[in-house]
């Protein structure tokens, strides 16, 4: 590609256009015509290389992180060619910690819950209504519900398992029946079915959602223990219920709260011992009239030479009796400021409360502490 340059004929000054060349000639008063020469120019090499990168000179080991820096180096050194864009150097792996993939631990599979056998007493009307529909939807289940009849009193007992309580809840909601109080013979009938299945029992309060232990069978009742780890055996309850009245309510009884020893009696408060009065003798009363000096018609306070000049209005015996308020005995003992005080009586020990049994499982007797035995009488 050719371009023009304009040259002054006298000083050979070069210009890119004609106008500045003529102005130069007139200012300098140079004579002659402006000379024009054609100049071959190298085409400008355009590159698509990025401005930043790891560049290397094609003719020497010089490197640069900028394209402009490498082009300046090649122009200054006269090196031909194009800058070489190298791949970025990989980071050193000497201090790099190896990446350890931690595989999540597989969650332990939940063990299937073992079915727990349970019993509840219902009315005859409800039993006859639900008897044909007991096991609807339970065809694939190994546990079933069944209606049992206590031969001793003719009561209806519903036998079910903990794994099918959803079906039982549906029946109770649809046909509006509920469990009722069990007699001693009902609990004994269920215990005989649980023979060999259950060894010990506790008490579950379905109202307070609290577990209690069992200690013994006494006075016709199942006695509770506040220590829920204490459990009486199957034989204890079978023996006790066999000796009880069959048609009476089976009840759980005991002290349901912790009791404490009665408070210690409060000692009567004692007033502090008054200090003994001084035994010094006081001279007899004397009337002292002392003339005070007058100063310009005014009375001025005069100095007292001794305490004998004071007018003593009380004798020693009068002072002591007044100090004690006239309420001191002859032996100078301590008086009682609360002669009528009596300590409060100790609180009465709590009485045991009984609650009827509403159900029985392999492990617990079920009660409802909202309803006590007295409310059912």
Strand 251-254 and strand 221-225: the pairing is parallel
Q: pLDDT by residue (tens digit) across 317-347?
A: 444 444 444 444 444 555 666 677 788 888 8
Q: Which two structure tokens, joined as six digits, stand for 154?
A: 């003719």
pLDDT single digits (tens) 189-226? 999 999 988 889 999 998 889 999 999 999 999 999 99
Please tell me which residue, 213 or 107, carries the higher pLDDT value.
Answer: 213
98 has a pLDDT exceeding 60: yes
* The pLDDT of residue 46 is above 70: no
Contact call for residues 123 and 177 (beta carbons, < 8 A): yes
Pair type for strands 294-295 and 63-66: unpaired
pLDDT on residue 308: 54
Beta strands (DSSP E) in 227-363 are 232-233, 251-254, 294-295, 298-299, 353-361
pLDDT-derived band at 374, boundaries 50, 70, 90:
low
Q: What is the mean pLDDT of residues 252-281?
A: 68
pLDDT at 104: 81
Q: What is the pLDDT of residue 329?
A: 46
The pair phi, psi for residue 286, each rounded to 5°, is -125, 140
**Distances from the Cα of 67 to the Cαs of 70, 74, 81, 355, 368, in angstroms?**
5, 11, 13, 95, 89
Lowest mean pLDDT among 65-69, 96-100, 341-345: 96-100
The 10s digit of each residue's pLDDT in 5-32 is 888 888 888 888 888 888 888 888 888 8
> Which residue in 151, 153, 332 sits closest to 246, CA to CA?
153
Q: Do 176 and 122 touch, CB atoms closer than 8 A?
A: no
| 3-state SS, one letter per residue, for 127-176 | HHHHHHHCCCCCCCCCCCCEEEECCCCCCEEEEEEHHHHHHHHHHHHHHC
Rg (CA), the chain: 59
Does residue 176 surpass a pLDDT of 80? yes
């Amino acid at each position: 590609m050719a371009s023009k340059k304009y040259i002054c004929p006298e000083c050979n000054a070069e210009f890119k256009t004609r106008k500045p060349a003529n102005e130069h000639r007139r200012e300098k008063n140079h004579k002659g015509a402006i000379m024009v020469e054609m100049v071959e120019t190298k085409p400008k090499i355009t590159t698509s290389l990025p401005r930043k990168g790891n560049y290397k000179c094609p003719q020497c080991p010089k490197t640069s992180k900028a394209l402009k820096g490498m082009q300046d180096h090649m122009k200054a050194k006269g090196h031909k060619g194009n800058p070489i864009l190298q791949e970025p150097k990989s980071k050193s792996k000497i201090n790099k910690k190896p990446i350890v993939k931690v595989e999540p631990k597989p969650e332990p599979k939940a063990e299937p819950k073992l079915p727990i056998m349970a019993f509840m007493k219902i009315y005859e009307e409800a039993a006859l209504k639900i008897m044909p529909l007991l096991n609807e939807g339970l065809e694939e289940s190994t546990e079933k519900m069944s209606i049992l009849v206590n031969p001793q009193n003719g009561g209806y007992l519903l036998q079910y398992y903990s794994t099918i309580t959803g079906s039982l809840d549906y029946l109770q909601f649809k046909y509006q029946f509920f469990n009722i109080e069990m007699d001693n013979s009902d609990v004994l009938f269920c215990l005989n079915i649980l023979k060999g299945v259950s060894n010990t029992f506790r008490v579950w309060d379905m109202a307070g959602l609290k577990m209690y232990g069992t200690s013994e069978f006494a006075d016709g009742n199942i006695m509770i223990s506040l220590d829920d780890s204490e459990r009486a055996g199957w034989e204890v309850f079978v023996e006790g219920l066999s000796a009880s009245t069959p048609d009476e309510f089976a009840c759980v009884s005991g002290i349901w709260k912790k009791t404490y020893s009665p408070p210690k009696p409060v000692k009567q408060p004692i007033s502090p011992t008054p200090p003994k009065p001084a035994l010094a003798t006081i001279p007899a009363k004397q009337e002292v009239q002392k003339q005070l000096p007058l100063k310009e018609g005014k009375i001025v306070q005069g100095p007292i030479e001794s305490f004998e000049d004071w007018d003593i209005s009380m004798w020693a015996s009068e002072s002591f009796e007044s100090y004690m308020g006239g309420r001191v005995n002859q032996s100078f003992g301590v008086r009682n400021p609360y002669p009528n005080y009596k300590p409060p009586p100790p609180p009465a020990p709590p009485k045991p409360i009984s609650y009827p049994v509403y159900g029985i499982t392999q492990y617990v007797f079920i009660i409802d502490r909202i309803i006590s035995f007295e409310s059912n009488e």
